[in-house]
Structure 1
């Protein structure tokens, strides 16, 4: 008997999309459950064990952002991929702020769906490290997911900390966006179109700037990638 790769919950009120997602995931060996209502979806997430939740933004009774925030409070390790409207960058940014692991823009290709699902499942529960990193006046605390400068402190997401750790470990060279997708996001296919890295970098830079307005820790090398630049003690 072949066992399912993972147990996935789809929270989506569009019947056509729900059926399509379910069929594709079951065909690829996943066990699937579904909810068409936001409140019901939240109840199922909190009272059951799912390897991954596919969560729509617009839902009856409770929207996807509110669900994600509540799940992060009670089950912080729960992997969540948000389904967003095509080209709606505001939804993507809001989703990452709420704590989603990744997003898929509708309409999406079957290849993109499987690539993103497999990537989130691969990195679930895995991160680059809990170490403490000091870069000039900035201190990054991986265990508590915080960055500080003098008396100022900001909270970081696990993904933001993973970005800092990876760039720090490879500070002697430029790290490409594709490399980050493979090593930090764990994409098996890093050639799909995604703004994930750009949006995370934008949010991370804003947080660092709020700590120290003079800092420009993460340098963008046009056409190449990213590199850490700081004054070493």
Structure 2
């Protein structure tokens, strides 16, 4: 996918931010449409004509998280980035729960925006490869996007499946946050400041803990990164 062919939809009700985003992305070679209303933005997003959709959380008519859920239900592989208020971790977690691929916090730098856009576009359609993998007694099913343990099931996002798969393939060692950003999230600059990995790991641990009555599976090695716990 080249920049000249990639189409991006931005749904943002702040006129200045919308114009600025459109200008920056057009300057970088993307074809961009901007919409300032949630209902119209949702209808346009569901057209399936875009390589990436950028959604503000707070929108008139319909909020960005609701749009994201509708898009994800109809188009499971559609790349989506959400825009959040600075420091609003609840919005970030809610965005990932709705199916967003990444987030950008306001105010943001143009460099940060382009890093996120390029990374999401590069990794769109990327999945873990294996249809199913077993980690201990948990089955991670990439076709049905779920984790299965005994008679319990827990829905997972595509990114959560990819994260487990990468840690599984490298289970004999610690995997750094920068490596996960480069290999799973496909960031060109994996040292960019972001809590994306931390939030995904936190959410994934909670889901696994629900299945296993408290066994989180993924271990954090302070200052080093993450690894699958060796006794599971």
Tell me the TM-score range normalised by the shorter chain.
over 0.9
1:7 match: 7
Work out the CA distance in 2 between the residues paired with 1:135 and 1:76: 25
Q: Distance in 2 between matches of 1:47 and 1:28?
A: 24
Deviating above 6 A after TM superposition, structure 1's stretches of 4 or more consecutive aligned residues are none
Write out aligned runs for 1:70-219 (5 A): 70-219=70-219
Counting matched residue pairs gives: 231
Q: Please, what TM-score do these two structures have when normalized by structure 1?
A: 0.96
- Give yes or no for contact 2:3–2:28 (8 Å, CA) kept in 1: no
Range 129-138 or range 7-16, more displaced: 129-138
Alpha-carbon contact 1:136-1:230 (below 8 Å) kept: no
Aligned counterparts, 1:58-77, within 5 A = 58-77=58-77
Structure 2 residue runs of 5 or longer lacking an equivalent are: none
Aligned equivalents of 1:214 and 1:32: distance in 2?
Answer: 45
C-alpha distance in structure 2 between counterparts of 1:21 and 1:105, whole Å: 14
- Alignment match, 1:33: 33
Output the CA distance in 1 between the equivalents of 2:3 and 2:214: 54
Q: CA deviation at 1:203?
A: 0.4
Once residues 207 and 114 of structure 1 are traced to their aligned partners in structure 2, the CA distance between those partners, rounded to angstroms, is 31
Superposition deviation, residue 48 in structure 1:
4.3
Let me know the Cα RMSD of the aligned residues. Answer: 1.4
Residue 138 of structure 1: how far off its partner (Å) = 1.3
Greater Cα shift, 135-144 or 172-181? 135-144
Instruction: After superposing the two structures, state which structure 1 stretch, 8-17 or 121-130, moved more.
Output: 121-130
Distance 1:224 1:55 in 2: 33
The alignment's TM-score, normalised by the length of structure 2, stands at: 0.96
Unaligned runs of 5+ in 1: none
| CA distance in structure 2 between the partners assigned to 1:85 and 1:17 by the alignment | 13
Shift of 1:193: 1.1
Greater alpha carbon shift after TM alignment, 118-127 vs 130-139:
130-139
Is contact 2:84-2:106 (8 Å) kept? yes
Instruction: Quote how far apart the aligned CAs of 1:47 are.
Output: 2.0
Looking at structure 1, the residues matched to 168 and 126 of structure 2 have their Cα atoms a distance apart, in angstroms, of: 18
